[in-house]
Amino acid sequence: MNIAVMPGSFDPVTNGHLDVLERALKIFDKVIIAIGENPRKQYLFSVDERKAMLRQATKGLPVEIDHFSGLLTDFAKNKGAVAIVKGLRAVSDFEYEFQAALMNRKLDNEIETVFVMTRGMYCYLSSSIVKEVASLGGKLTGLVPKQVESALRKKFS
């Protein structure tokens, strides 16, 4: 079975994330969504809240949802993954992700990094911009799944 890990903060999950996931599932038998925990970052949603939103958004898909802290390559190896899937929106994403991919290869050259370009309709979309729009009471239709929109409205009410 070809397993890939798709890491991210998913704070919150967006339709852009789901687009990349659906396309990765055409390449891999199973994708493990890996919620990264970084003690230096401040999150809007807890890991458990992010897991719950991802479970709802990916219902029926061959995915596993987990979280990790530490090295991504260690997590991927422990899960039996052959690849790390990263979504790219713009050239600015590529520069950062390319450096990370090279470091991951240095740490474990048996795990490949696969870049999946997001669809043009999501190239501007990020969790950060979604949170900003939500905090200002803006329209979220088409940006996030309905249950995520509800969770955001609740957080900012």
Q: Which residues are catalytic?
A: 17, 41, 89, 127
Cβ atoms of 1 and 114 closer than 8 Å: no
Cβ atoms of 63 and 33 closer than 8 Å: yes
Place of tokens 């991927």: 76
Distances (CA, A) of 29 to 50, 81, 94: 23, 11, 25
Cβ atoms of 49 and 72 closer than 8 Å: no
